[in-house]
Structure 1
Amino acid sequence: MSLFETEQYRASIHEAGQVLAVSPDDSEALNIKALSVTTLGDDETAIRLVSQALEASRKNGHASIEQQSNYWNNLGFFSHMTLWS
């Protein structure tokens, strides 16, 4: 991964963190942050974040079925990556 790409993922993590500072149960921000941290190699944190996204979407009901399906898919992918790394 290039330095430019790495910085883009770090910026995405930062932006998601800003959203989460205001709305800690924003499931989409949690998912975006999970996708970014796993790309940078932190699958354990990604699993924790996407699990939080699933819990937040269950509690607040704001995530669509498609979004929730995406979160479950990401959880499976991140878990698989952890097993094979």
Structure 2
Amino acid sequence: MLQFADDVFPQAFGAMFEAIHGSAPDIAGKNIANPSGLLMAGVMMLVHIGQGEVAGRVHNAWLKTIEDGIHSADISGVRVCRNNGSAR
């Protein structure tokens, strides 16, 4: 799924981490965007800077939200993206 895509561009001077997506103006304001790619890019950044334990905790928390049914509608069923940030 494109929404889960993330990427890293390592260079000699540093690295850039990003969620791969467009601006998606067709879904703006509809509360259906999937922020998972951005979160996973952050996880990759944490690994890159030597914070693998923290990255693992964030990744596992993200997986738990999906298991608990807190996710955007593109994963399965009807959900809204505002719930992703309120998961505990």
Q: TM-score range with shorter-chain normalisation?
A: 0.3 to 0.5
Give the number of the structure whose residues are more often helix, by fraction: 1
Larger Rg, first or second structure (1 or 2)? 2
Q: State the TM-score, normalized to the length of structure 1.
A: 0.41
